[in-house]
């Protein structure tokens, strides 16, 4: 069998999403961001939204998302992606606008912007990547860091009396009248990858239908910040993260 036979259309099992750029990603090996990027690229292309999608990426590990997915992007200041997305959605309502935010962004620096945009029911999609740590800046404690979890700023573990409780911002989002769809997923297994892709697609469908704000949280790993191998990070996430951040739909209007 020659190479021409192997690459025939009927023999195709998988191909790179057409919207993913031909560049090397800067993410650490085992990071969840790359998988989420792939799913976004697939959903946008499959829904025929390439020319109608605008992404907003703020500061953090995902700040260079515009290098990887070939749609229109705007870079926002740390935490301000929902404010920028609000402006884009209101000025160009024919477009689908999404933010791509980490936990330090959505649930710390940008808490006010995130909550008030969702409360107003802005017609945007928020992709929220929660790995319970500040990944890019050195592995410091984030609002989502678990009790007892060790970080660069909590070397003996997070304490309630000193650091407070983990902030479950997605649970807050579901209580807001402006949100139409709030879900929490992951990408650590093939089955969960499929569920996350379906959630992203539903969120984009809601945006097209002008139903309000959709929030897709993806519970993720940070093997560099956690000081674990990629495989050990997935296991740690299953054993620890899912108890505090259980997977599934929280709201579906």
Let me know if residue 16 belongs to a domain: no
* For range 191-200, the mean pLDDT: 98
pLDDT computed for residue 138 by the predictor: 85
pLDDT at 16: 85
Domain hosting residue 110, numbered range: 25-252
Indicate if the pLDDT at residue 4 is higher than 80: no
Checking if the pLDDT of 120 tops 90, the result is yes
Task: Determine how β-strand 96-102 pairs with β-strand 125-130.
Answer: parallel
Residues whose CB is less than 8 angstroms from the CB of residue 95 and which lie 6 or more positions away in sequence, other chains included = 52, 53, 54, 88, 89
- Is position 197 within any domain? yes
pLDDT in tens, 34-43: 999 999 999 9
pLDDT at 159: 97
Residue 108 lies in a domain: yes
In a domain, residue 7? The reply is no
Q: What is the CATH number of the domain that holds 172?
A: 3.40.50.970
Kindly state whether residue 17 falls inside one of the protein's structural domains: no
Q: Is residue 88 part of a domain?
A: yes
Does residue 10 belong to any structural domain of this protein? Answer: no
**Position 9 in a domain:** no
Domains of the chain: total? 1
pTM value surpassing 0.75:
yes
- CB proximity list for 125: less than 8 A, separation 6 or greater: 96, 97, 98, 99, 200, 203, 204, 206, 207, 213, 214, 215, 216
Reported confidence tier of residue 13, pLDDT bands at 50, 70, 90: confident
**Tens digits of per-residue pLDDT, 62-85?**
888 999 999 999 999 999 999 999
């Amino acid at each position: 069998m020659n190479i021409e036979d192997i690459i025939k259309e009927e023999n195709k099992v998988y191909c790179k999403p057409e919207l993913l750029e031909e560049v090397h990603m800067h993410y650490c090996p085992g990071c969840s961001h790359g998988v989420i990027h792939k799913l976004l690229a697939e959903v946008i292309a499959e829904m025929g939204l390439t020319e109608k999608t605008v992404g907003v990426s703020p500061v953090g590990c995902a700040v260079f998302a515009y290098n990887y997915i070939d749609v229109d992007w705007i870079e926002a200041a740390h935490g301000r992606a929902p404010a920028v997305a609000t402006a884009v959605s209101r000025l160009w309502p024919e477009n689908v606008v999404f933010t791509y935010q980490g936990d330090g962004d959505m649930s710390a620096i940008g808490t006010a912007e995130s909550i008030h945009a969702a409360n107003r029911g802005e017609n945007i999609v928020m992709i929220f990547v929660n790995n319970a740590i500040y990944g890019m800046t050195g592995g410091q404690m984030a609002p989502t860091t678990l009790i007892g979890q060790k970080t660069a700023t909590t070397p003996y573990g997070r304490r309630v009396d000193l650091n407070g409780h983990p902030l479950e911002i997605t649970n807050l989002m579901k209580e807001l009248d402006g949100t139409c769809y709030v879900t929490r997923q992951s990408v650590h297994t093939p089955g969960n990858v499929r569920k996350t892709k379906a959630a992203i697609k539903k969120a984009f469908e809601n945006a097209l239908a002008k139903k309000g704000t959709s929030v897709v949280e993806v519970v993720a790993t940070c093997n560099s910040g956690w000081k674990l191998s990629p495989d050990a990070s997935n296991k740690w996430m299953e054993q620890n993260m899912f108890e505090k951040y259980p997977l599934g739909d929280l709201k579906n209007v």
